[in-house]
Amino acid sequence: MEIRPFDPATLVLLALLNPAVIAVGFWMGLKADQWQKLIVAAFAAALSGFILYWLVTMLGLLPVHALGGEAGLVALQFGFGLIWAVLGYVIGKRIG
């Protein structure tokens, strides 16, 4: 799969299906004891997702030729990370 320069659909898919965003957002939301910490969880999820994306591209596992929109990717990962954090927070409150 080759990624085309600035394809919004690809950015959404990269952010939505990034396992680091899902894992970090959900886990930090699950461990949060106050709803305000969900913002921090979303930032951490976005950062970890971008680091994973960078590592995968640097290792050559995902060929990228001038993707563009990296700031948009981080913003989308923040949004999806927030959704996963809220989901983890709600499940954590019901369990505990």
CA distances from 44 to 3, 20, 26, 61, 81 (A): 25, 10, 11, 23, 8
The structure tokens listed for 36 are 């305000």
Tell me which residue of 96, 91, 75 sits closest to 29, measured CA to CA.
Answer: 91
What pTM value is reported for the model?
A: 0.88
- Per DSSP, what are the bridge partners of residue 64? 3
Helix residue ranges per DSSP H, the chain: 8-16, 19-31, 37-58, 70-95
- Tell me, what's the pLDDT at 96? 74
pLDDT < 50 positions in the chain:
none
